[in-house]
Chain A
Amino acid sequence: GENVEQHPSTLSVQEGDSAVIKCTYSDSASNYFPWYKQELGKRPQLIIDIRSNVGEKKDQRIAVTLNKTAKHFSLHITETQPEDSAVYFCAASIPGNQFYFGTGTSLTVIP
């Protein structure tokens, strides 16, 4: 199966700074890469996703980039706000029926 690694495991940034979370995957057949945000005590929620035929996707302050050759993808959050504090998970799927999750990044935005 697929193996997804995620770094860093914890990240602290000052409010207004940018945050970057990186993931690598092992199976070149993976073609869909969602990112989930999990606030404390809540369910993981999809915040952005990218397919393998696209190199970058943006939605307001968040963006995801994908490098298929290097098999890595990243989440970028600009102008961070305290409400961005959460655990973020990357995931990858080979065409099939499940996502393979990274181990999570706990992001703290310091006011």
Chain B
Amino acid sequence: DTAVSQTPKYLVTQMGNDKSIKCEQNLGHDTMYWYKQDSKKFLKIMFSYNNKELIINETVPNRFSPKSPDKAHLNLHINSLELGDSAVYFCASTLPGLRGGYTFGSGTRLTVV
């Protein structure tokens, strides 16, 4: 009965590869996010979708492409992975108006070698 689930939990891949991370929430939330947490622990917003519509698109390389097939799912595809993409990626979701704050997924630790 996990509220926000991400897969995979760990991802080790070589430079230049393409990979995807998946996120699903069963909370009935309308808004979902992708955050990147680097080694200094800073939480940097990347994208947000509200009911399948892209509403936040921060300055990230266009190698990163989000996709929301429905309001319960938000996936992140990364092309041509680089060493600097190594980080923990968190999915999060929330109710309209940010009521109750974010519920975060368990994170995906991406290591590019």
Contact = CB atoms under 8 A, between A and B. Distances in A.
Our verdict on whether A and B bind, yes or no, reads: yes
Interface of A: 32, 34, 36, 38, 42-46, 49, 87, 89, 91, 93, 95-99, 101, 103-104, 106
B5 to A, nearest CB: 11
Nearest to B90: A43
Given A43-B105, A97-B48, A104 B42 contact: yes
17 contacts: A36-B102, A43-B90, A43-B104, A43-B105, A44-B43, A46-B101, A49-B101, A89-B43, A91-B101, A95-B97, A98-B33, A98-B56, A99-B98, A101-B43, A103-B40, A104-B42, A104-B43
Interface string B73-107: 00000000000000000100000011011111111
A43 B101 contact: no
Contact of A99 (B55, B101, B103): B101
Contact of B107 (A43, A46, A98): A43
B33 A103 contact: no
Interface residues on B, range: 20 to 34
Interface of B: 31, 33, 40-43, 45, 48, 50, 55-56, 90, 97-98, 100-107
A75 B103 CA distance: 20
A97 to B, nearest CB: 6
Given A43-B107, A104-B41, A34 B101 contact: yes
Contacts of B40: 103
Contact of B102 (A46, A87, A95, A104): A46
A98 B58 CA distance: 12
B101 A97 contact: no
A64 to B, nearest CB: 13
Nearest to B98: A93
Contacts of A44: 43, 90, 102, 104
Given A43-B90, A43-B107, A44-B90, A99 B102 contact: yes
Contacts of A95: 97
A32 B50 CA distance: 19
Contact of A32 (B90, B98, B106): B98
